[in-house]
Amino acid sequence: MKVCIVGAGITGLVLSNFIKDSVIFEYGKIGGKIQTKYYDKFFVELGPDAIIFDQEKIQKIEQALGSIFEKKNFIRYNPTFLYMKNRLYMIPSNFQEFLLTDLLSFFDKVGFIWNFLFRKAKYRGDESLEEFAINRFGKPFFERIIKPIFETVFGTNSDKLMLHFVYPFVKKFEKGVFYRPTLMFNIEDGFYSLIQKIAKNKNIINEKVEKLIVRENGIVVNDSYFFDRIVLTGQAHTISKILENTNFFDDRFIHIRDSLVSNLLSLNYHSSFIYIFILKSKININANGIIFVDDPFLKSITFFSKKWFDSYDVEILRVFAKEKNEEKVINRLSEFLAMFSYDFQKNMIDYFSVFWENALVDYDQNYLKFFENSREFLKELEKVGVFIFGNFIGGTNILDRIIFAINNYGKVIQDRR
């Protein structure tokens, strides 16, 4: 059975490890959004820079793929701050810090503890993060802690961020406040070394999939290649474009295609990052990161060296910007660091920008309901050999996407006679 896998991101690469007669189509970079930029003495992550440590998931993955996480580098627990009203507020990472924080009033803290102990908000899944968090933690804790953190990390408004996709992160955050901080790790050689270990399938065609013809006995790709099955991985935007140009042998699939495309096209998101290299010997901010509330140009700054590799001679600022204008963002950053007596312009070594187009999904509050309604549509497509394993289905983090691929490759090669 010959299988076409569209996309050489983490999901597509893992699938290809288990589907022997598979061909990967990838027009961009191997690894998808997982990219690492290497220098002589250090590296910087251009995509995800952390994985939440979960021993059970890691064991399951390594049983299937080998010891791919053997060189774990655990995060250094410097504080993370919120910056609002011209002041830094430390985000609590344990119960003692929670009791001392001035982000919340005494009554807000009592309310949070009461909600945590006695008000067990049920996880429905078809609600937004905002709905659940207010019911679970109370409005003050949501507005001053949960909202700025999650909107920055996931890049969308909390009333549009589906709880279904972020619930594991919410639970980890909650446990961190009361019990212990969430353990995060990177890979000593960078996340791209993970991709290199997984990318065992050398049968990769550097071609963009632009057209599909689904027949009763198989699928034709770009009028040139014939496969028994096809798996579409990656972003909602990419998958929707392929489906738009898909023809079926049976007209009843046209409605299925059009319904999926209409919804997938709404799940777009753009993001700009600027990576700035500065001399760190004179910078006196002891932090892993700063999240900005209501700043016109900045969403957050990650101090990459302090967070992961304190031995670096340079500090790498990963600036999550609200727009692509480098000059405005750098000028605003210079103003901010001047508050800490740091001459940014004098100590800046270099910078470069990364723009993620359609990188993440902007979850509509009704998206999960749509997904539940479309399950039968997806099953119908699978009957004719078309599988959709997009990141909006497989999960928002690396471990979940790998496990999703491991758990679901079997149905791709299953005999359907």
Which of 186, 184, 191 has its CA nearest to residue 52? Answer: 184
Q: Are residues 173 and 262 in the same domain?
A: no
| Total structural domains within the chain | 3
* Whether residue 317 has pLDDT greater than 50: yes
Give the model's pLDDT for residue 321. Answer: 84
The pLDDT > 90 percentage for the chain reads: 26
Of the candidates 310, 335, 356, which is a domain's last residue? 356
Quote the CA–CA distance of 410 and 392 in Å, as a whole number: 20
Q: Give the CATH number for residue 116.
A: 1.10.3110.10
Domain that holds residue 333: 32-92+184-192+271-356
Q: Are residues 296 and 188 in the same domain?
A: yes
Q: Give the CATH number for residue 324.
A: 3.90.660.20
Q: Are residues 122 and 134 in the same domain?
A: yes
Q: Give the CATH number for residue 391.
A: 3.50.50.60
Quote the CA–CA distance of 149 and 154 in Å, as a whole number: 9
pLDDT, mean of residues 216-223: 94
Q: Are residues 350 and 372 in the same domain?
A: no
Q: Are residues 188 and 284 in the same domain?
A: yes
- Per the DSSP assignment, residues forming a β-bridge with 356 are 271
303 and 77 Cβ atoms separated by less than 8 Å: no
Of the candidates 356, 372, 397, which is a domain's last residue? 356
Q: Are residues 295 and 218 in the same domain?
A: no
Q: Are residues 188 and 295 in the same domain?
A: yes
Cα 270 to Cα 194, 210, 236, 287, 398: the distances in Å are: 25, 22, 13, 27, 20
Q: Are residues 26 and 155 in the same domain?
A: no
**The pairing of beta strand 314-321 with beta strand 298-303:** antiparallel
* Whether residue 208 has pLDDT greater than 90: yes
Of the candidates 314, 340, 356, which is a domain's last residue? 356
* Whether residue 176 has pLDDT greater than 70: no
Q: Are residues 295 and 340 in the same domain?
A: yes
Cα 223 to Cα 210, 230, 235, 247: the distances in Å are: 10, 14, 23, 12
Band (pLDDT 50/70/90 cuts) for residue 307 is confident
Phi, psi of 124 (to 5 degrees): -95, -35
Band (pLDDT 50/70/90 cuts) for residue 417 is low
334 and 255 Cβ atoms separated by less than 8 Å: no
DSSP 8-state code for residue 162: B
pLDDT, mean of residues 314-320: 86
Q: pTM of the entire structure?
A: 0.85
Q: Are residues 375 and 257 in the same domain?
A: yes
Q: Are residues 235 and 327 in the same domain?
A: no
Q: Are residues 277 and 345 in the same domain?
A: yes
pLDDT tens for each residue of 94-113: 888 888 898 899 999 998 88
